[in-house]
Amino acid sequence: MPRKPTPDMQKWCVDEKGQPRINKGAENVCVDESEICFIDGFHSKLYYRGYSIEDLAQHSTFEETAYLLWFGKLPTRNELKEFDQKLRDNRELPEAAYDVIREIPKDTHPMEALRTATSFVGNLDPEKQKLGIEYVPSKAISLTAKLPTIVAALARVKDGKEPVKPRSDLSHASNFLYMLHGEEPSEEWTRSMDLSLVLYAEHEMNASAFSTVVVGSTLSDYYSAIVGGIGALRGPLHGGANEEAVKQFNEIGSLDNVDKWYQENILSGKRRVMGAGHRVYKSYDPRARIFREHAKRFAETSGIPEVKKLYDIAFRLEELVMGQLCETRGICTNVDYWSGIVYYAMNIPIEQYTPIFAIARIAGWTAHLLEYVSRNRIVRPRLYYKGMLDLEYTLVDKRG
């Protein structure tokens, strides 16, 4: 008689009554202590290293935020200058990386292309044999500096254009826009891009940070850990939601159609609002509030009718979400709801929104890798096995 696993055999996964104790999706599981980020999901608060996201959004740059996340304190002016200079010095890619970028099939999603190019850049690292955690900061500076170059080069090549080489006289955000569009961005665009990188830089133990930490916990190399993060970020339930949100506004098509669309697709339970809902936030995502203000400004001042239309659709859809899903079930609009409209206004192709998220989030991934691996324990959870045991093996020819 085949045996079923007994509660006794499953003791690591059952409670005192012998019932399975499973946190599906690792909900509310704390894998470590941390000093990097705190999300107060009930009071709409987010802190990086103790500083509120509102203060960082108003006063900080991406460069300063990355320093804060990695080294645990705001840099002095000299520390920031030195850190910024290192980033500027590391922007250029080896020629071989451009060759690989040109070889990637044009129908590849930019996140998948980013995954390949990032991995290849790791292969070109002259210090790739050095795996220890003490080598992570210098590798992180190099890769954080290079990701915008990779993303911009991929975007241009996909569009049939030549990559634009990085400039070291521009800020991280400004240089990225310059490489993407081939012309120096305005102050307003630079500030909006920089702000978006600050808002996207970190968010505790989300799926991509966890992927990075899982890979890092095996004492694998830095590039593998970051590629793991990129892979997780690509999905529409995580970073890919910013692209899906704009596609959803486009699909709705007009302000007149929002209520009907919401009724047919969301109230019916057929689909989810992209850019709404969150595992941790049960109130309004504070990053969405900041992005929303910027989207509004672009809608009012850019003079691009399409931006205004998207904003109006998003505004009405958000009213419905907040009045119903948020009110009754804590499903409120999140960071990915509004960010796409800001990027859209800066003439950035929709499929580049998630790669931009990656350009920012490498700061958070690296911070978690440094923190977790500095007191490492390999990540190795269990599953509650509910299959059979001791089945009789039947030879292949005798199977019915």
Ligand X SMILES: CC(C)(COP(=O)(O)OP(=O)(O)OC[C@H]1O[C@@H](n2cnc3c(N)ncnc32)[C@H](O)[C@@H]1OP(=O)(O)O)[C@@H](O)C(=O)NCCC(=O)NCCS
Which chain residues interact with ligand X by CB under 6 A?
A: 25, 237-238, 241, 266, 272-279, 325, 331, 334-336
Minimum Å gap between C-beta 79 and ligand X is: 32
- Closest chain position to ligand X (CB): 277
Residues labelled as active-site residues: 278, 336
Closer residue to ligand X, CB minimum distance, 115 or 278: 278
- Cβ burial 29-68 (10 Å sphere, 16+ → b, else e): eeeeeeebbebeeeebebbbbeeebeebbeebbbbbbbbb
DSSP state of 257: G
For residue 64, what are its two tokens?
Answer: 């300063």
Yes or no: say if 13 and 20 are a contact pair by the CB < 8 Å rule. yes
Decide whether 157 or 232 has the Cβ nearer to ligand X.
232
How far apart are the C-alpha atoms of 381 and 144, rounded to whole Å? Answer: 30
Question: Cα dist. 138→127, 130, 145, 183, 190 in Å?
Answer: 10, 11, 11, 30, 26
Q: Which of 301, 338, 289 is nearest to 189 (CA)?
A: 301
Instruction: Answer for the pair 151, 358: CB distance below 8 angstroms, yes or no.
Output: yes
Please state the closest distance from residue 279 (CB atom) to ligand X, in A.
4
Query: Is 156 in a helix, a strand, or coil?
Result: helix
Alpha helices in the chain, H assignment, sequence order: 53-59, 62-71, 77-89, 95-103, 110-123, 136-158, 172-181, 187-200, 207-217, 222-233, 241-252, 258-261, 286-301, 305-320, 327-329, 335-345, 353-374
- State whether the Cα torsion 191-196-202-208 is positive or negative: negative
- Residue number, 136 or 335, with CB nearest to ligand X: 335
- Which is nearer to ligand X, 189 or 249 (by Cβ)? 249
Q: Are strands 51-52 and 37-40 parallel, antiparallel or unpaired?
A: unpaired
Q: Residue 26 or 80: which CB sits closer to ligand X?
A: 26
Nearest approach in angstroms of CB 253 to ligand X is: 19
**Minimum Å distance from CB 282 to ligand X?**
10
Question: Measured from the CB atom, is 171 or 339 closer to ligand X?
Answer: 339
